[in-house]
Structure 1
Amino acid sequence: MTAPRRPLPQWARDASLGIFVHWGPYSVPAWAEPMRALGAVPDDEWFAHNAYAEWYANTIRLEGSPAAEHHALTYGDAPYEDFLDAWRAEAYDPADWARLFRAVGADYVVPTTKHHDGVALWDAPGSGDLTTVARGPRRDLIAPLADAVRAEGLRFGVYYSGGLDWSFTDLPPHRSSDDVAALRPTDAAYAAYAHAHVADLVDRYRPDLIWNDIDWPDAAKQPGPHSIESLLAHYRDAVPEGIVNDRWGAKVWDYRTSEYDHDTDHEADAGWEHCRGLGFSFGYNRVEDASLTLSPRELARLYADVVSRGGRLLLNVGPTAAGEIPDVQRRTLEGVAPWMTAVKPHTIGRRVIDSDAVEVTDATWWRAWATPDGLVAVVDGPAASARARDGRAVTTFVLPN
């Protein structure tokens, strides 16, 4: 299935920073082995040693995995759904989140609305009691965040796991990438279920962006009332400037994505997006301390690298089960905020340039891009200087300490 490519709307071309939010029942155990980044670990090792806390429901099913051992020692044989009932979100303050995201320079915010565990964070149609309205927090967690984000002048998107739903099927756990492709719901019943979910998200929240994950049920890749084509037609009618990512298992995307060290070959087309957490996990992992979390300096360097190559950075935060941004993550965001506030205006209308367009001296690392007003250089080194070989003005920023 192929859809004609559309040019990205101006807001997406100018955007350079999004905030991802992974929050779910997995935030209650909040545990994963902080192995290394996705893409830097062999596939036959990754799944049993999964660094993603949001994959907890899968990893604890793998006999002998560190997560299974941790679960048995901490929770015995308690089923994963117990974490939904234990989740309270008692400290959730979406206005505080939104203020923090705006302060760090975010252009858009994308929370998870349903992850692979199948738990919906709103009153999703057909989900029964597997929602935060029916159990746990007992309320819609998406609507107040959408309102708070937009009140701060940011755009609002939604994440949805269309490819995996461990609550919908009784399939074996995933032990490899091949399993992810093979052991997923693909039939007409799940296609109708997922279609109803995303259509409801569109109708309720009018998201500026839909971030689908893994794939989409195969039954929906053919024409019909629950097809991807009909779903995206509904979306684009409701939100003409709305955009979708590239994880549908079909060529319907508006932009490509990479994740940590995975799919870096996608970092080429205009408007590509790189996503990662502040640590190795997306969901909150209580094991990740400051040594496993990007510092303000490391975050600034990552951002400058992505921007210089024409991309956007979708940076994840993983709130605690209570709804607080962990101190170790908040320190990085607040620490980089002054630097980001200074740099962000110089990313509007940016264009990629050849490295030889700029001459940089006394820098151990640097990145540069063009804007309508000249060139911008980000350098590592307080004594570094930059000049354009064609005489254009260069605005220089030094990485924060």
Structure 2
Amino acid sequence: MVVVVVRQTSAGVPAAVGGALGAAGLTARLVPLDGGELPPIDLGVVEGLIILAAPHPAGTGGPTLVRDALAAQVPVLALGSGAELLAEVAATGSGPEGPAVELTPAASTDPLFAGPLPAALRPHPAPASLPPGAVVLATARDHPAQAFRLGGSAWGVRFAGAHDSEDETWTGQLLFRFAELVASRAEHTSTRAFFTHRADTWEERFAYQTPAYEAAASRMQLRPGATALDLGCGTGRAMPALREQVGAHGRVLGIDITPAMLTAAARHGRTRHGHLLAADCTRLPVPHRSVHGIFSAGLLDHLPDPPTALTEWARVAATDCVLLLFHPSGRAERAARHGRPLDPGDLLAEHNLRPALEATGWSLDEYEDAPGHFLAHATLAG
């Protein structure tokens, strides 16, 4: 798991940064700005970003990098001039005698800003123009917005320390918390980065599969008024078929962890068929025993912890709930396409899937691994 560290020189990753990342099992990749230039960075192969210096002038790749990281919800920690760049992109000097920097009430629940600040912090004197929705985490008299959070994945820290042991301790704690957060989110970060980059063309690229999605969803045979979930919905190709089954008084939720895919789903009119929600499929914001149908295409075997997901899906399932796992290609077809043989350890192989379902409260009723599709139909056991 790699975290890119943007620094002014090629002198190496600062020891505090490298130590924090290493303790969380992360690898630092230094990107120096010796000539003020920022080389292209593929966010699809990194799990986090620490910006210690901003490119100069600002038009040399920095805004693009920050904008792409915010869009893909790649965790970002921007310090000093990096925080200035973060604030500037998202929205489109004082000496040691300055007022104290203090945490705001919002900081008490922030994953990075826990505990008191050192007393000798110097506020950055320049005004900050933050975008709507930014959460201010630290402020100072006459110098607001000394630290802020954008959404749930990007932080900017503008104030400077007095370089004493107390400040170094606090900065080290901040870096350790950020490294732990990056490590804990690594799987979701890589998924979002992969699909964010492809969201705008996803629907057109795979439009030929839409009839197969509709045919698979129709086999759930949900009753009018039921509640149906499309988990890992992408652009929501199954949602029209689910709506047709549950009728005007039913409920359809399209859930995906990548906001860019949900934006594409809305652009293609899927909000006419149900609601779109950005959420983790292993922690669904759905009440216990409230769902009558769960459709999931190409998701389960790509999750880091499939048993946890199946257990969570059983939690929200009503006693008559139907679970339908689908893929528009069979297992053999997909293996051949990637130039590899069928894997006997594949979760979707019947001898693996059946016990996995049974261990999490499901019973496999139908299993089809045909050349043109994969389909598994399950209901709650007992």
- Whether the TM-score (by the shorter chain) exceeds 0.5 is no
Higher relative CO (Cα under 8 Å, sequence separation at least 6) belongs to 1
Choose between structure 1 and 2: higher strand proportion. 2
- TM-score, structure 1 as length reference: 0.30
- TM-score, structure 2 as length reference: 0.31
